[in-house]
């Protein structure tokens, strides 16, 4: 559950901010929403045949807002509800980066969801490199994941890492390949049908 909270709290926070909630209100609503999911064991009731997990979360949040809109913000803090450790200090900065004047709350949610998924994948990939003692390699090549590295950059990187350019290109190719594999795995966990993965990947790209 902690992994779920960390992956999805910011897309929901951004959605609420775009709906007009203040930062404290948005934070409290997300906090209360995830606490409600735990209390009601709602995730155990999710029918995976009905669609995508992100859609389930957004719909559930809307229902939660309907139930909670008359309660005071203070009532949502503490009490009998479980408190989650949310990484919120930079929330407003991240929200500002995701914001566009004409974007709807739903589009804010979708965009921040896409970014959160990619960040999660990068974190998993970084963890795999770290487990093999290759932190320096990952740090040096992380920017290559977007496919924009030019020939000159490859030459400089190879010299910095003490590799031949050919070996470096193989390493980058494998890193990108593993990144794509992890991305598919991440998406697979959020859809009802494995056949929807490619469609969801295309939609994720459109959201960015």
* DSSP state, residue 46: -
Distance, in Å, from the CA atom of 115 to the CA atom of 151, rounded to the nearest integer, reads 28
pTM: 0.72
pLDDT at residue 170 greater than cutoff 90: yes
User: Angle formed by the axes of helices 91-98 and 105-131, to 10°?
Assistant: 120
Instruction: Give the chain's radius of gyration (CA, Å).
Output: 20
* DSSP state, residue 84: P
In 3D space, the residue among 180, 135, 179, 127 whose CA is nearest the CA of residue 161 turns out to be 135
pLDDT tens across 54-112, in order? 888 888 899 888 887 666 444 545 554 555 555 555 666 666 666 655 578 898 889 88
**Which residues does 70 contact at the CB level (< 8 Å), separation at least 6?**
none
State whether the Cα torsion 20-25-27-33 is positive or negative.
Answer: negative
């Amino acid at each position: 559950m902690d992994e779920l909270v960390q992956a999805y709290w910011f897309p929901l926070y951004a959605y609420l901010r775009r709906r007009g909630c203040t930062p404290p209100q948005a934070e409290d609503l997300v906090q209360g929403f995830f606490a409600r999911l735990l209390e009601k064991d709602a995730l155990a009731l999710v029918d995976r045949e009905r669609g995508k997990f992100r859609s389930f979360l957004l719909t559930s949040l809307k229902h939660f807002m309907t139930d909670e809109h008359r309660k005071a913000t203070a009532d949502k803090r503490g009490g009998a509800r479980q408190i989650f450790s949310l990484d919120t200090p930079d929330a407003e900065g991240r929200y500002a980066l995701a914001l566009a004047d004409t974007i709807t709350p739903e589009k804010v949610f979708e965009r921040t969801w896409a970014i959160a998924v990619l960040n999660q994948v990068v974190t998993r990939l970084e963890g795999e490199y770290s487990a093999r003692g290759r932190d320096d390699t990952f740090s040096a090549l992380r920017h290559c994941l977007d496919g924009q590295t030019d020939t000159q950059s490859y030459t400089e990187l190879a010299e910095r890492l003490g590799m031949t350019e050919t070996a470096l290109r193989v390493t980058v190719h494998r890193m990108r390949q593993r990144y794509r594999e992890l991305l598919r795995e991440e998406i697979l966990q959020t859809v009802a049908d494995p056949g929807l993965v490619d469609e969801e990947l295309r939609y994720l790209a459109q959201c960015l």
